[in-house]
Chain A
Amino acid sequence: MLPENTTAIVARNERWSGAAASEPLEAGWAREAVIFVRALKTPKGTQPKARVEISPDGMRWVAEGTEVSMPAEEGGITVLRVKHFGNWLRVAANFTPGSECTVLVTLHLKA
């Protein structure tokens, strides 16, 4: 049987500001994850780093170490790649006051 792979949309047209994060996703079956963050509208203000976070329970989150700058313009896409994440995955970013980005966050998971 072919190995499972799937695309999960965890944030669609969400306006991220302040302490923002995608909804938790369980992906313990997957050996690798590629995460795309696309700016659907022109970002406002200084754009922070987006970081991968992992969790023991889906409620308490720890930075995994992988991070990348948020997209700088409308249509811009940034990519995060992770291989060792246990079960829970999310993307988080801390925006300074007045800055924001409307995002599409997609997780591409492969067994």
Chain B
Amino acid sequence: MIDMAEALRLAMQRADPNLSRFDPLPRLVSLDDFSRGHCGWSQLVGNYEDDLDSMLPGYAQHTSPMLSTLGHWDAGSHGGMGSSYALKIATRPKAGAQNVAIKRHTFRKRGPIRFEAYFTFKPEANELTLSETDVRSVGLLFDLQGGDRDGDNERVMPHLRFLNAEHGLHLQKWQFKTESTPFRSLGRSDKTFSHYHLAPEGWRDLPDGVQRLCYNEIPTKVNWTYLCFDFDLESMRATGFRCNDRSFDMAGFDSIRIPAMKNLWCMLNFALFVETDADKRAFLYIDSVCISGDF
């Protein structure tokens, strides 16, 4: 039985048209619907020192996310769920290309964090075909590190992607990864390092993680999909994952874990990414994001 305060919170939340489609934890960290701008979602830029040529190629390909009305050549603007706009993350037109948008915070307390979003994806509509295997994947990752007095000196990076297709095969399954590439020093100062955590190697299937999402019948029709990822900053473990009507067992899920960095204490970063499987741009559209916590 929920107490009166919780009942009141739920009633207010469900009567709020901006929040009602989410299931947030008691404290809202941010509510981004992209009718009020980019809401802090920016380009993930790679590290460098002295010269931009030192940036790893995986990061050098990134460009800035944009506000989109999902304008299509044949049907005009699709729009978002509650406004004309969505955030759009676009790859370059080369198979395997990726792009990442990131929102950088720090946390006040190590406890449960919930990331909810409504998203959709499509390839660039430059062919009059269904193109359902042209987007390789879309996904999310967190980049986390405990406080400077916490003692458990790890940087933890949960990665979760929907592998839509690979090398033309329509796979439609959720995956996670626990490996990054080795760290590389970028300059002469021994202060700047980089690793490529979105390298294509090392993805593992989430148990019972096959899911057929709604992919409408031409490249310019989209449907919004709900996603909810729960993570506990105290134990640094994923505690839940839902996508539309499916709830997934996260007991077998783990994150990339690497030694703590000397300057990233209390880091709480959220990132969204897209990869293309064909020599055409892949687009990840985000209608809205609700990040909440219990603190």
Could you list which residues of chain A lie within 8 angstroms of chain B, going by C-beta atoms?
1, 4, 6-13, 23-29, 40, 56-59, 87
Cα(A106)–Cα(B18), bound, Å:
33
Cα(A10)–Cα(B92), bound, Å:
11
A residues near B90, Cβ cutoff 8 Å: 23-24
Interface residues of B in 27-64 (CB under 8 A from A): 36-38, 43, 45, 52-53, 55, 60, 63-64
Contact-residue size bin, chain B (C-beta under 8 Å from the other chain):
20 to 34
Q: Are B53 and A26 in contact (CB under 8 A)?
A: no
Closest to A106 in B: B64
B residues near A59, Cβ cutoff 8 Å: 73, 124-126
B residues near A25, Cβ cutoff 8 Å: 64, 66
Name the distance in Å between B32's Cβ and chain A's nearest Cβ. Answer: 13
Q: Are A10 and B63 in contact (CB under 8 A)?
A: yes
Given A1-B36, A9-B64, A59-B124, CB of A28 within 8 Å of CB of B69: yes
Number of contacts between A and B (CB, 8 Å)? Answer: 61
Could you list which residues of chain B lie within 8 angstroms of chain A, going by C-beta atoms?
36-38, 43, 45, 52-53, 55, 60, 63-64, 66-69, 71-73, 85, 88, 90, 92, 124-126, 281
Cα(A7)–Cα(B42), bound, Å:
10
Question: Does more than half of chain B's interface fall in helix, strand or loop, or is it mixed?
Answer: loop
Task: Name 23 interchain pairs, CB-CB below 8 A, sorted by A.
Answer: A1-B36, A6-B38, A6-B64, A7-B64, A8-B66, A9-B45, A9-B64, A12-B45, A12-B63, A13-B55, A23-B92, A24-B281, A26-B66, A26-B69, A28-B67, A28-B71, A29-B67, A29-B85, A56-B73, A57-B72, A58-B71, A58-B124, A87-B71
Which one, B63, B67, B73, B281, contacts A57 given CB within 8 A? B73
Please provide the 7 A-B residue pairs with the shortest distance between their CB atoms, ordered closest to farther. A57-B73, A8-B64, A13-B52, A4-B37, A26-B68, A26-B66, A23-B63
Question: Does more than half of chain A's interface fall in helix, strand or loop, or is it mixed?
Answer: loop
Cα(A25)–Cα(B55), bound, Å:
23
B residues near A24, Cβ cutoff 8 Å: 90, 281
Other 12 A-B pairs with CB < 8 A, given A10-B64, A58-B124: A1-B36, A4-B38, A7-B64, A9-B43, A10-B63, A24-B281, A26-B68, A27-B67, A29-B85, A57-B125, A59-B124, A59-B126
Cα(A4)–Cα(B125), bound, Å:
28
Q: Are B64 and A26 in contact (CB under 8 A)?
A: no
B residues near A13, Cβ cutoff 8 Å: 52-53, 55, 60
B residues near A11, Cβ cutoff 8 Å: 63
